[in-house]
């Protein structure tokens, strides 16, 4: 492999890479009159740390635009609400609500089970069958003692400790004869030694249906292993040994899963801090693991707003590709967003952007109004998670985001298409009475925040202080109108507490919390925080994408997500690579004009997010 500093790229040497992928990969995906034969092939995707599935959703949408059918076959997340959301939006995905480390152990056990019952099944079948039929006879001849139950079949498998016994192991979920699903229980494999036939049947049918991936059977792995040990807000980091920090362990687990399954492609997402903290130790670790596994790899930092969102949000992405595949390039911006935020020096060339001097032809950056101005007015207390649109889309962005899943070309989400005119999750986190009273007093103007409340004045060096000439204003509850935490936040220099967003602004970064105490998240003209749906719009989630769990959990799923348009642009790049379209060693490429979501919305017209005629 060669190493190039630009986009920290490790790639096959030129001679091998020229002319795209080797015969292995091009044979079934060559192009015929511009139409890829790859249409016939469905590529499988495993989404690790999937959250509600934004990253894989975007990847599949983008790959489709490149003529490649990519399907999220498996997803893993330890958060049950996120899993519920993913399952609803991707009904045919095998969604596993478990820890990634347990998932890896399960994969290893599953392979052994498949070897035993599927691959080598015939060798031991005769004696096993004899044993099984003996058991059957026994069953028929003897009635069971009262406290013995009979296994009807096995319905699930997991690795871990589902019964909280304090010991990890392999477990099967048992459906008991004469009982329904509500009485299913998890049983350890050792306790099922009499149920040989049931295990065999379960493994054979699970193998047929690919309920779990086996080494070599996965085309793409994507995921964002959480690395909380690098967060600026986290004080318990271990600068000397970041990988032993429990909070960074998932980076190791992610790479271990890649090592075990050996997919054709890998895409890892993370916060830019992995390139800053301890001289980019974690980012370097990720790259070096890939290279050590003989993957080509490439690192890039992408700004979400550059792909058509009113949100800045910079994230780091790392591609990995087997030596036999074409290494994906990073897609250049389509929208003109001013770069801000610190790019770590050592990786400054990895920022996915045009050279200053280039002829860019970029579209205008989007602002808040473009994204949310068509949504119905809602109150601070809004318990319904389904309502109706009350106006037509007003902008190209809104027309696109309100498209049906079918029109958005998301073949894998068709079952989840909502009824015409329905709008989901347009609910704000309900503010308590005191905060609601405070928010009602924040003026509806650009930049308004707690500094506009009675009794606050701005002193020297932009620091707030209480106006000594006015008694401290109180709410009807007796609590102060201006809370102490607002006055002391960032030593009194911040204007973020209770700040309204304004229509012409780009939001810095959508986060997982929705409290207005130390971030700008109030609606410009309504007395509430942005709703889950408004945040989802800022992250580029299609309106048809529905979220599950308590409202706080929905905010978490949205705030954790990879912005869908970014994932979609990366999916296009992946699709091009799978088709063997990329040649040369340039790390970046220009998306086609037709890629832009706006063009697509205009072409197909909206069919879900329309207001129903009375
Ligand atoms: N890529 C996702 C967002 C991922 S956020 C998207 O685009 O929507 C990270 C996720 O990792 C969270 O949903 C969290 O529940 C999950 N997670 C954290 N630790 C985990 C672990 N040990 N195993 C599995 N999932 C984990």
pLDDT of residue 593: 84
pLDDT of residue 243: 76
Mutational pocket test of ligand 1: of 79, 80, 88, 549, the residue with most ligand atoms within 8 Å of the beta carbon: 79
Regarding the beta carbon of 110 and ligand 1, being less than 6 Å apart is answered no
Q: Which residues lie below 8 Å from residue 81, measured CB to CB, with a gap of 6+?
A: 548, 549, 550, 553, 554, 557
Residue written as token pair 């997991």: 158
Residue bearing the CA closest to ligand 1, atom 18: 226
* Euclidean distance between CA atoms 431 and 438, whole angstroms: 10
Residue 134 located in a structural domain: no
Residue 551 located in a structural domain: no
Regarding the beta carbon of 257 and ligand 1, being less than 6 Å apart is answered no
Q: For the purposes of burial, counting CB atoms within 10 Å of the CB of 33, is it exposed (0-12), middle (13-18) or buried (19 or more)?
A: exposed
Distance of CA 236 to the CA centre of its chain: 26
Both 328 and 473 in one domain: the answer is no
Dump strand ranges (E) for 425-499: 456-458, 464-466
Compute the chain's Rg from CA coordinates.
Answer: 27
- Return the active site residues: 227
Q: What angle do CA 56, 62, 66 make, to 5 degrees?
A: 135
Regarding the beta carbon of 72 and ligand 1, being less than 6 Å apart is answered no
Residue 346 located in a structural domain: yes
Residue bearing the CA closest to ligand 1, atom 11: 49
Both 479 and 572 in one domain: the answer is no
Residue bearing the CA closest to ligand 1, atom 6: 561
Residue 172 located in a structural domain: no
CB 564 within 8 A of CB 61: yes
CATH number of the domain bearing residue 33: 3.40.50.150
Dump strand ranges (E) for 279-418: 296-303, 314-321, 330-331, 335-336, 363-364, 386-388
Residue 9, domain extent: 2-103+214-362+563-589
Regarding the beta carbon of 89 and ligand 1, being less than 6 Å apart is answered no
Relative to the CA of 269, which ligand 1 atom is closest? 1
Both 219 and 303 in one domain: the answer is yes
Both 329 and 440 in one domain: the answer is no
Residue 146 located in a structural domain: no
| C-alpha 187 to ligand 1 mean position (Å) | 27
Both 225 and 328 in one domain: the answer is yes
pLDDT of residue 80: 98
Regarding the beta carbon of 553 and ligand 1, being less than 6 Å apart is answered no
Residue written as token pair 């229509």: 503
Residue bearing the CA closest to ligand 1, atom 25: 77
Q: Which residues lie below 8 Å from residue 241, measured CB to CB, with a gap of 6+?
A: none
Dump strand ranges (E) for 141-192: 151-160, 169-176, 185-188
Residue whose C-alpha is closest to residue 369's, from 253, 494, 534, 128: 534
| C-alpha 484 to ligand 1 mean position (Å) | 34
pLDDT of residue 148: 78
Number of domains in the chain: 2
pLDDT of residue 513: 95
N-terminal to C-terminal alpha carbon distance within the chain: 64
Regarding the beta carbon of 561 and ligand 1, being less than 6 Å apart is answered yes
Distance of CA 4 to the CA centre of its chain: 29
**Angle between the N-to-C axes of helices 249-261 and 281-292, in degrees from 0 to 180, rounded to the nearest 10:** 10
* Euclidean distance between CA atoms 212 and 335, whole angstroms: 39
CATH number of the domain bearing residue 510: 3.90.120.10
Regions of the chain with pLDDT less than 50: 16-17, 19-38, 122-141, 233-236, 410-415, 598-614
Regarding the beta carbon of 304 and ligand 1, being less than 6 Å apart is answered no
Both 445 and 319 in one domain: the answer is no
| C-alpha 582 to ligand 1 mean position (Å) | 31
Mutational pocket test of ligand 1: of 46, 58, 78, the residue with most ligand atoms within 8 Å of the beta carbon: 78
* Euclidean distance between CA atoms 583 and 571, whole angstroms: 17
| C-alpha 255 to ligand 1 mean position (Å) | 15
Both 568 and 501 in one domain: the answer is no
Residue written as token pair 């500093």: 5
3 state SS of 135: helix
* pLDDT tens column, 108-131: 999 999 999 997 764 444 444 444
Residue 198 located in a structural domain: no
Residue 572 located in a structural domain: yes
pLDDT of residue 121: 66
Regarding the beta carbon of 301 and ligand 1, being less than 6 Å apart is answered no
Relative to the CA of 53, which ligand 1 atom is closest? 8
Residue 421 located in a structural domain: no
């Amino acid at each position: 492999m060669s190493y190039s500093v630009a986009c920290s790229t490790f790639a096959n040497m030129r001679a091998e890479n020229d002319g795209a992928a080797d015969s292995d990969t091009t044979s079934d995906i060559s192009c015929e009159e511009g139409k890829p034969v790859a249409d016939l092939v469905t590529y499988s995707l495993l989404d690790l740390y999937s959250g509600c599935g934004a990253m894989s959703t975007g990847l599949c949408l983008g790959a489709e635009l490149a003529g490649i059918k990519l399907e999220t076959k498996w997803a893993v997340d330890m958060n049950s609400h996120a899993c519920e959301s993913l399952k609803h939006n991707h009904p045919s995905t095998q969604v596993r609500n478990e820890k990634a480390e347990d998932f890896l152990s399960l994969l290893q056990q599953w392979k052994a089970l498949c070897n035993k019952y599927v691959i080598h099944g015939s060798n031991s079948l005769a004696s096993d069958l004899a044993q099984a039929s003996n058991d059957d006879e026994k069953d028929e001849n003897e009635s069971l003692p009262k406290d013995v139950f009979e296994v009807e079949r096995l319905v699930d498998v997991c690795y871990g400790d589902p019964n909280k016994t304090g010991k990890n192991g392999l477990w099967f979920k048992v459906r008991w004869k004469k009982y329904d699903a509500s009485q299913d229980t998890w049983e350890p494999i050792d306790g099922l030694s009499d149920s040989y036939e049931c295990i065999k049947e379960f493994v054979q049918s699970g193998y047929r249906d690919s309920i779990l991936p086996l080494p070599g059977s996965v085309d793409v792995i994507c995921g964002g292993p959480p690395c909380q040990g690098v967060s600026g807000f986290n004080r318990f980091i271990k600068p000397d040994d970041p990988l032993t920090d429990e909070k960074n362990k998932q980076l190791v687990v992610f790479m271990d899963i890649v090592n075990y399954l050996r997919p054709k492609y890998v895409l890892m997402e993370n916060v830019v801090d992995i390139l800053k903290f301890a001289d980019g130790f974690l980012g370097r670790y990720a790259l070096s693991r890939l290279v050590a596994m003989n993957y080509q790899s490439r690192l890039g930092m992408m700004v979400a707003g550059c792909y058509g969102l009113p949100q800045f949000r910079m994230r780091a992405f790392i591609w990995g590709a087997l030596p036999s595949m074409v290494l994906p390039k990073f897609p250049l911006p389509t929208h003109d967003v001013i770069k801000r935020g610190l790019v770590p020096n050592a990786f400054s060339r990895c920022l996915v952007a045009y050279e200053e001097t280039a002829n860019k032809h970029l579209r205008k950056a989007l602002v808040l109004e473009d994204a949310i101005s068509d949504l119905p007015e809602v109150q601070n207390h809004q318990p319904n998670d389904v309502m109706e649109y009350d106006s037509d889309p007003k902008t190209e962005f809104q027309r696109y985001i309100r498209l049906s899943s079918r029109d958005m070309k998301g073949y894998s989400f068709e079952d989840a298409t909502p009824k015409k005119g329905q709008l989901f999750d347009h609910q704000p986190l309900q503010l308590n009475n005191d905060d609601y009273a405070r928010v009602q007093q924040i003026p509806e103007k650009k930049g308004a925040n707690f500094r506009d409340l009675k009794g606050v004045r701005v002193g020297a060096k932009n620091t707030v202080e209480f106006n000594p000439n006015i008694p401290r204003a109180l709410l009807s509850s007796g609590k102060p109108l201006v809370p102490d935490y607002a006055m002391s936040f960032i030593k009194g220099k911040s204007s973020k507490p209770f700040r309204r967003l304004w229509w012409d602004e780009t939001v810095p970064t959508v986060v997982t919390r929705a409290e207005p105490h130390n971030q700008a998240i109030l609606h410009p003209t309504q007395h509430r925080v942005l709703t889950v749906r408004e945040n989802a719009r800022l992250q580029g989630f299609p309106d048809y994408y529905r979220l599950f769990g308590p409202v706080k959990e929905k905010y978490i799923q949205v705030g954790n997500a990879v912005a869908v348009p970014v994932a979609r642009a990366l999916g296009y790049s992946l699709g091009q690579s799978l088709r063997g379209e990329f040649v040369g060693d340039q790390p970046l490429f220009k998306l086609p004009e037709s890629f832009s979501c706006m063009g697509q919305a205009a072409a197909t017209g909206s069919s879900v997010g329309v207001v129903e005629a009375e």
